[in-house]
Amino acid sequence: MEGPNPEEDRVALRSLRRALNARPETPPHETCEHLRDAPADAVPLTPQGCQECLELGASWVHLRMCLTCGHVGCCDTGDHRHARVHAEQTGHPVMRSFEQGESWRWCYVHEQLD
């Protein structure tokens, strides 16, 4: 059995570098249709917190608001994940952060951030 050939390794590495440098740039990430069509904001149904956690007497970590109907639910970081459950049960695909100073939106269908 032959041992490693350093010269062949160097040639292969140079060839790989040339191929990687010749790759076309990745096209810019396109925004999915759900994020593109969703409103920027909605009227929160429960501005004081997660609707289900308030009913349960539970706490939450961060809040998310559905941009279709204004449902306020807790994020995936906590135990209950009410925002995700709402999206799955209703088919409402886009939510936004309901934290002060944050305005990003998320599509549950495409798992895409806007």
Sequence ranges of the domains in the chain: 33-113
82-88-92-96 Cα dihedral, nearest 10 degrees:
40
62/68 Cα distance (integer angstroms): 19
Return left, alpha or beta for 74; rule: phi > 0 is left, psi -120 to 50 is alpha, else beta.
Answer: beta
pLDDT tens-place values along the chain, 114 residues long: 455 556 666 655 555 555 545 433 333 568 999 999 999 999 999 999 999 999 999 999 999 999 999 999 999 999 999 999 999 999 999 999 999 999 999 999 999 999
62/105 Cα distance (integer angstroms): 14
106/86 Cα distance (integer angstroms): 14
Q: What are the two backbone dihedrals, phi and then psi, of residue 107, each rounded to the nearest 5 degrees?
A: -100, 120
Q: Which class is 33-113 in CATH?
A: alpha beta
- Threshold 0.85, pTM exceeds: no
Give pLDDT, residue 4: 55
